[in-house]
Structure 1
């Protein structure tokens, strides 16, 4: 979820199967982190540029591009095929 998406306590309470919340940043003012902690639901996010650390500052962008390429190249499909004892299901093609 992005940092501006409202995620109030009453919504969390209505999601009994929620096991983890991923956010696009570590500073998310819309989250009641204390309530998440009470419910034993971990909250994870990408690195925060405001901390001055350069490690992982592009991780959201990199993850998005990786997902797009994986979809375009059929990575999940071929991964499932290999795990089933098969081989790749097709040939990679250009992205244009």
Structure 2
């Protein structure tokens, strides 16, 4: 019998690649957090003997994505209280 698609490691890494490309088109650290979560989930599936159900796998993916997003936001966001002000319009 064929194993389910969500248990194949390269499917998660391919999804991570798609989300990383989406991050380049639509920046904001959202897709990058999901991409990092999917990549680490795919790497976890490479561990021999690891068999998890779909709900557990989705929980791992969600937790890793949230952690990645929080880390990215902490290190790459503007300093607290600082607002980016644009003085010139690109169309001028």
Interval containing the TM-score (normalised by the shorter chain): under 0.3
Give the number of the structure with larger relative contact order, counting CA–CA contacts within 8 Å between residues 6 or more apart: 2
Higher share in strand = 1
Higher share in helix = 2
| TM-score for the superposition, normalised by structure 2 | 0.26
